[in-house]
Amino acid sequence: MKAIDLYSGIGGWTLGLKMAGIEVISSYEWWKDANDTHNKNFGTNHKEKDIRKLDLQSDLPAPENVDFVVGSPPCTQFSFANRGGNGDLADGLIDIHKFLEVVDYLKPKYWAMENVPRVAGILRSEIQESGALSKFKHLFDGEYGTIEVYDSSEFGVAQNRKRMIAGRFPRNLFESYRQTTPERHLGDIIDSLNGDDVVDPNYDHSISNLTDHIYESLLTDEEMRMNHDAKAYHPVYNKMSFPDRLDRPSRTVTALCTRVSRESIIVPEGRGFRRLTVRERGCIQSFPADYQFYSNSYGGKLKMIGNAVPPMLTYYLAKSMLETPLEDIKPPKSEKRIVDNFNNLPKFFEPDLQGSKFSWSRSFWLAIPGLRFGSGVRFELRNVSNKEIEKTFWWINFHYGNSKKIKQLSLEKERFSVVWESLILLDVDLEGKISDYIKFVETIDVDGLQQNWTNKDRSKNSPIWLVDSIGEFADDLINTLKGTYSDKHEKLAELTQIILRNGNGELDNKKLVDFPEVVLTGIMIGSIFNVLMTGEQIDLSTVEA
């Protein structure tokens, strides 16, 4: 049986099909590094090809020679990681249209397309009448037509990588294979690659020369803090574990991540924490431990691995296309590669190092301790860079609402005035503490914050120091409101309701009313900071509601 691989990348589909016993007669990929990786691991000589310009008759095998069509059109425009899910969907649909056009031309026995979960809904909609892909609706008709989302970890991949699989193949048979697949954990991958005798964690053969397994330096305290808070107090997404748990499948390996990011998978190492090596990422994606990655940069290798489809997943898809009965299914076996015999080993790069220089506009955001509620509800310090004048400004935002719709309440002088005058009417005396906070904010070296954050001058105070210092003032105010003025709790809750009601008189987050001391403190702390950052002054004796 023969197949072609569209948008073939580094070979996730091709490897899965080959392990299943299917011959891949043609592969098509435009990115040179990915195509080089594909060619050098399989001994092929496929040229880079812009699939959007592919000619059906001259660039494809004859239809009678193709039993299966598989592939993974680029997912960048569909990913929620791309500008918060605001990618160019019309541009992304061009590649899916081309894929379906090839399927429609070749009319294979079975076909399958992989992409991010979001595409499932888009595809279901666009193949309907008046949709951009309506002309291909017939490709999904019949018993085997399908558009479903699967978790790769259910098919032996050590990763909770959810992917849409659309196509025409024996879906029920494919799903039945889950009864036979083992569950692999992140810790299984790490332990297998770090023993004295390295054994491939997915395919069980010994590895004589383990490459691309170079540890990064441990995270600094600053990097550890930023990673932790990005996972625990993200403005939109739910809480993650820090460090990542080793006793379960890994989170999704992404194409883009830095030493300071929510996406980075962080594991313990001695008394500290580190990111994963290139080899660990590859094995989590279920590539063999002797599979080689060809790129001219360290980041390029991470990108190509993160973009790949797990070959363990495609193996079972291929087996369903071959209509292999459940009782005959066996774990995949990868042909052992003798690394020393490679004619052209890839370049190996030292990982990203701490202490790098950053752009003058390097962004920063971090939730203020004591003023964060989880599920994206928090007061945060962040910077905003004006590229026209090359200057960075600092601000405190208040994100609230609910997990489905995060909103932002502006923190300015008028907002502070409402709270302050109301507290005076309630006989709540915080003037001494607020005055101390105002004096503190007035002493902040604003330019120095960015100089520290960009590694230009680490002798300056850091933004993390500022966040924690503001958090200390907040804790003092909250404790005072909860202690000295505990009898005012109900009145403070009523004030919080008034402030948080939207234009329709509704509360966007009713739970916040249960924490009036925290919310009101945050509004005062944030508003004062923002007013002083604009160069205005706050005189507590003349504040008017």
Task: Give the per-residue pLDDT at 509.
Answer: 81
110-115 and 68-71 as β-strands: parallel, antiparallel, unpaired?
parallel
Domain ranges of the chain: 2-182+304-334, 365-533
Task: Determine what percent of the chain is predicted with pLDDT higher than 70.
Answer: 92
Distances (CA, A) of 166 to 98, 122, 161, 333: 15, 12, 16, 25
Query: What is the fold of 2-182+304-334?
Result: Rossmann fold (3.40.50)
Q: Is the per-residue pLDDT at 514 higher than 80?
A: yes
Q: What is the mean pLDDT of residues 282-288?
A: 98
Q: What is the mean pLDDT of residues 286-293?
A: 96
| pLDDT range class, residue 415, cuts 50, 70, 90 | very high
180-230: pLDDT as tens digits: 999 999 999 999 998 788 999 999 988 888 999 999 999 999 999 988 888
Distance CA 271, CA 432 (A): 42
Q: What is the mean pLDDT of residues 416-421?
A: 95
Which of 39-53, 81-95, 449-463 is predicted with the least confidence, judged by mean pLDDT? 81-95
Q: Is the per-residue pLDDT at 51 higher than 70?
A: yes
Q: Is the per-residue pLDDT at 141 higher than 80?
A: yes
Task: Give the per-residue pLDDT at 403.
Answer: 59
Q: What is the DSSP letter of 216?
A: P
Q: Give the residue, 361 or 401, on which the prediction is more confident.
A: 361
Q: What is the mean pLDDT of residues 96-106?
A: 97
CB of 424 within 8 A of CB of 543?
no
Q: Give the residue, 203 or 258, on which the prediction is more confident.
A: 203
| pLDDT range class, residue 507, cuts 50, 70, 90 | confident
Q: Is the per-residue pLDDT at 346 higher than 90?
A: no
Task: Give the per-residue pLDDT at 87.
Answer: 54
Q: What is the mean pLDDT of residues 368-381?
A: 86
Which of 49-63, 282-296, 327-341, 417-431 is predicted with the least confidence, judged by mean pLDDT? 327-341
| pLDDT range class, residue 258, cuts 50, 70, 90 | confident
Please state the φ and ψ torsions of residue 33, each to the nearest 5 degrees.
Answer: -60, -45
Task: Give the per-residue pLDDT at 451.
Answer: 94
Which of 306-310, 400-404, 534-538 is predicted with the least confidence, judged by mean pLDDT? 400-404
Enumerate residues 6+ apart whose C-beta is below 8 A from 286.
Answer: 152, 156, 157, 158, 159, 202, 310, 311, 312, 313
| pLDDT range class, residue 339, cuts 50, 70, 90 | low
| pLDDT range class, residue 82, cuts 50, 70, 90 | very low
Distance of alpha carbon 366 from the chain centroid: 17
| pLDDT range class, residue 545, cuts 50, 70, 90 | very low
